[in-house]
Amino acid sequence: MEYYLWIDLETTGLNPNLCEVVEIAAVLTTAEMKIVAEYESLVQTSNRLSWQPAALAMHARNGLIERWSDGEKRHIETVEIGLLRMLDDHGASRAMLAGSSVHFDRGFIRRNMTILDDALHYRHLDVSAITEMMRGLGYELPVSPPSEHRAMSDIKRSISLYRHWREVVGQFAPSAARA
Average pLDDT, the chain: 91
The percentage of the chain sitting over the pLDDT mark of 90, rounded to a whole number, equals 71
- Max intra-chain CA distance, the chain: 59
Would you state the pLDDT for residue 124?
95
Q: What string of DSSP letters covers 74-123?
A: E-HHHHHHHHHHHHHHTT-TTPEEEESSHHHHHHHHHHH-HHHHHHS-S-
Q: What is the mean pLDDT of residues 117-132?
A: 96
**Strand partners for 35:** 29
Among 29-33, 53-57, 100-104, 124-128, the minimum mean pLDDT is found in: 53-57
pLDDT at 176 > cutoff 60: no
This prediction has a pTM of: 0.90
Q: Which fold has domain 3-173?
A: Nucleotidyltransferase; domain 5 (3.30.420)
Would you state the pLDDT for residue 25?
98
- 50-69 pLDDT, tens per residue? 788 888 888 888 888 888 88
Q: What is the mean pLDDT of residues 139-164?
A: 86
pLDDT at 73 > cutoff 90: yes
Mark whether 122 is an active-site residue: yes
Would you state the pLDDT for residue 62?
86
More confident residue, 2 or 141: 2
- Give the DSSP H/E element, type plus range, for residue 134: helix 127-136
Q: Which of 39, 122, 139, 162 is catalytic?
A: 122
Q: What is the mean pLDDT of residues 108-133?
A: 96
